[in-house]
Amino acid sequence: MKKLITLSKFNLILLWPLFFQTAHAETCVKRVFNQFCLGGTIDTLVSAEPSTTKQEDDGTTRYEFSVSGKHVNVLAQDNTVIAVERYEPPGDWLNFTDWKVKLIRLYGRATDLSTFPAYATSRSSRLNALKAGKGVAKASWSQPGWSVTLVWKEPEFIRLKYTLKTNPPTPANNTEGL
């Protein structure tokens, strides 16, 4: 009997992380940067405290972290993580292309959302437009329940942002009923 109790405790210890991960995974739409749970509650962020917390005008709360020397913003609304954004220095063509290739390997073909002036048709003219603050290189990947966007518009860094998709509110039916 004592062996059975010891064996049960041992099995419980071994299986506990599996139960915890399964329960935790159900609330997490996407694990981002191995630390943040897109779609999870803000209470399950990380053990580290945010360096700053800001309340935005639209009702979201921005938590700013420094994780392994990188600047990370976590946006939450109604206690739910709706976006996680990380800054990847430097802001240059090589870094943008490197991240874009990594993301294409993970998520497939991207949607190009870049905006450049009409004269910026070559790579060098687009680089000049970016340096002058007149252009934005942007690629997006849409996945079930979430999306990821890669943006380069600042010379210091590129931004990698994971966003939770929400169902758009149903428009009110303003027709007069009988």
pLDDT in tens, 93-151: 999 999 999 999 999 999 999 999 999 999 899 889 988 889 999 999 999 999 999 99
Q: Domains in the chain: how many in total?
A: 2
The answer to the question of residue 177 being in a domain is: no
CA distance 133 to 111: 22
Taking only the tens place, the pLDDT of each residue in 141-167 is 999 999 999 999 988 999 999 999 975
Considering the entire predicted model, what is its pTM?
0.75
Give the domain range for residue 125.
Answer: 89-166
Same domain for 159 and 119, yes or no, is: yes
- Residue whose pair of structure tokens reads 């990594």 in the numeric block: 102
Do residue 95 and residue 77 come from a single domain?
no
What is the C-alpha separation between 54 and 75, in angstroms, rounded? Answer: 10
